[in-house]
């Protein structure tokens, strides 16, 4: 299998007016006549990272990236506490993806992404199965309440010191209650230092959960500038505090709508952030879906995971 491919400069980009005062940034790379692929970023609120390398052969794929509402180059930016998140939900993002597809004149596209991205990809695909050609999902998180509870409370059994620091960064009265709601309140404080302290404490916890991984680093989540750091954490707390606005069990219940769409799930056995069970359950109920388990990988990947992801994309290149 070839190494990852260089990512060419965008041949087209823009801001798409999606309503509610929001403009979503998008860009297209690769071959304008190639197989369309939409890269969905994680987070939520992470923004579409502009890596210099990609799993997609730019001669074969028309690679579309976009920044979800409130982050990256999309406007307005959620790093500003005065920006409302009332019109920033999973339903809004699904509508944005469909508006972008129509704007670009794409009939069907491959969906690609990891972590939070599969939540959005799966809900979109179950809504518009006729618009999806294939799916490649990495470290799949489906935003179920048990997954959210695991990441922000239960995995603290393995990292008690780090989790207590995460808990103790909110006011004492909130520590035994809804931590995500408590962080959401801090992140709209009129005091910039309060917002930044909360965002750093959140990301320090996220960094701790991946610290054991070969590609984990102390700054994996926290190495962002002030406004981007606040936007990332604010949007994460907003979405996960509402379990992604996805009815519990609905993605698995409606997986029959995806029958006929080939899919590959790639998951690291060492991933403490995202348990493998949701991906496992989906594959059992989805003919044509495959789960590839990478023994040496966690949430942040490994060379073997990169190889598996590139192999999955290559399999669909000429389909």
Residue 2 has pLDDT above 60, yes or no: no
What average pLDDT does this structure show over 27-49? 94
CA separation for the pair 202, 232 (Å, rounded):
10
- The first and second tokens of residue 110, run together, are 């491959």
Length of the chain: 319
Are the C-beta atoms of 27 and 12 separated by less than 8 Å?
yes
pLDDT of amino acid 282:
98
pLDDT of amino acid 217:
64
pLDDT of amino acid 57:
96
Higher pLDDT, 103 or 218: 103
Q: Does residue 115 carry a catalytic annotation?
A: yes
Query: pLDDT-derived band of residue 252, with 50, 70 and 90 as boundaries?
Result: very high
Q: Which are the contacts of 183, defined by CB distance < 8 A and separation ≥ 6? A: 169, 170, 198, 202, 233, 237
> Which listed residue (57, 96, 207, 271) is catalytic?
271
Residue 49 has pLDDT above 90, yes or no: no
Query: pLDDT-derived band of residue 307, with 50, 70 and 90 as boundaries?
Result: very high
What average pLDDT does this structure show over 6-10? 92
Helix (H, G, I), strand (E, B) or coil at 16: strand
What average pLDDT does this structure show over 236-249? 97
Residue 74 has pLDDT above 90, yes or no: yes
What average pLDDT does this structure show over 174-198? 97
What average pLDDT does this structure show over 253-272? 97
- The first and second tokens of residue 253, run together, are 């219940």
With the C-alpha atoms ordered 153, 156, 160, 162, is the resulting torsion angle positive or negative? negative
Termini Cα distance of the chain: 18
CA separation for the pair 1, 153 (Å, rounded):
39
As a whole-number percent, the residues of the chain with pLDDT over 70 amount to: 97
pLDDT of amino acid 218:
59
Average pLDDT score over the chain? 95
Buried b (16+ CB within 10 A) or exposed e, 129-139: eebbbbbbbbb
Residue 62 has pLDDT above 70, yes or no: yes
pLDDT of amino acid 50:
75
Query: pLDDT-derived band of residue 221, with 50, 70 and 90 as boundaries?
Result: confident
Geometric angle at alpha carbon 266, from 261 and 269, rounded to 5°: 145
pLDDT of amino acid 300:
92
Residue 219 has pLDDT above 70, yes or no: no
Query: pLDDT-derived band of residue 215, with 50, 70 and 90 as boundaries?
Result: confident
Q: Which residue carries 């709601």 as its tokens?
A: 181
> Which listed residue (67, 77, 92, 115) is catalytic?
115
Residue 167 has pLDDT above 80, yes or no: yes
């Amino acid at each position: 299998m070839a190494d990852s491919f260089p990512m060419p400069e965008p041949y087209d980009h823009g801001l798409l007016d999606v309503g509610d005062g929001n403009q979503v940034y998008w860009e297209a790379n690769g071959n304008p006549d190639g197989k369309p692929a939409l890269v969905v970023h994680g987070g939520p609120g992470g923004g579409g990272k502009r890596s210099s390398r990609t799993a997609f052969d730019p001669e074969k794929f028309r690679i579309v990236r976009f920044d979800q509402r409130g982050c990256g180059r999309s406007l307005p930016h959620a790093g500003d506490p005065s920006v409302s998140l009332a019109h920033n939900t999973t339903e809004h993002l699904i509508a944005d993806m469909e508006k972008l597809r129509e704007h670009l004149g794409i009939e069907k596209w491959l969906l690609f992404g990891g972590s939070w991205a599969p939540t959005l990809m799966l809900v979109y695909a179950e809504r518009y199965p006729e618009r999806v050609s294939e799916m490649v999902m990495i470290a799949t998180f489906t935003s179920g309440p048990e997954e959210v509870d695991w990441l922000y409370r239960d995995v603290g059994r393995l990292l008690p010191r780090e989790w207590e620091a995460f808990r103790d960064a909110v006011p004492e009265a909130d520590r035994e209650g809804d931590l995500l709601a408590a962080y959401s309140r801090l992140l709209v404080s009129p005091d910039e230092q309060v917002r930044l302290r909360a965002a750093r404490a959140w990301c320090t916890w996220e960094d701790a959960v991946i610290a054991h991984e070969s590609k984990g680093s102390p700054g994996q989540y926290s190495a962002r500038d002030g406004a981007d750091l606040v936007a990332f954490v604010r949007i994460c707390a907003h979405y996960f505090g509402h379990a992604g606005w996805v009815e519990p069990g609905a993605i698995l219940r409606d997986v029959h709508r995806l029958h006929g769409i080939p899919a590959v799930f790639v998951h690291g056995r060492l991933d403490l952030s995202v348990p493998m069970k949701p991906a496992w359950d989906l594959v059992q109920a989805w003919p044509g879906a495959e789960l590839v388990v990478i023994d040496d990988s966690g949430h942040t990947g490994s060379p073997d995971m990169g190889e598996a992801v590139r192999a999955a994309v290559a399999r669909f290149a000429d389909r």
